[in-house]
Amino acid sequence: MSKRRPTKISAPHDARQLGIDWNDGESSTIPHEILRGYCPCATCQGHSGKIAFHGGGDLELVELATVGNYAIRLTWGDRHGSGLYSYDFLHALAAWHDEHGAQMTQLLPELPSPSP
């Protein structure tokens, strides 16, 4: 497991992106569309071991909770909130988004499974 940890997570009300400052000095920004579309929960993904992009769903982030010292749980405006986003997975999503931008969902319709 990575030693990378967030030092600050910001999700301003009415914003459509999540900001993360990491303990290595790096900063990441992840649009809500990417977070919701690649939700790692079993309801969205089944049990295939891959994370596929599924568009749609309410993109208003209404709650953010830390889970232990390895993940966050995001709850969306439609009350969907069963996905656990490990810190490693969040960092990977941010890196893929930085690399591919608006074309990420077309270029990466399926991602490797996040670490627990």
Residue 69 is predicted with a pLDDT of 92
Contact predicate 29/19, CB 8 Å:
yes
Give the pLDDT mean for 34-43.
94
Report d(CA 33, CA 100) in Å as an integer: 14
Q: Per-domain residue ranges for the chain?
A: 6-108
Residue 113 scores a pLDDT above 70 = no
Residue 116 is predicted with a pLDDT of 47
Report d(CA 108, CA 51) in Å as an integer: 10
Q: 6-108, what's its fold?
A: NE0471 N-terminal domain-like (3.30.2020)
pLDDT tens digits, residue range 50-98?
899 999 899 999 999 999 999 999 999 999 999 899 999 999 999 999 9
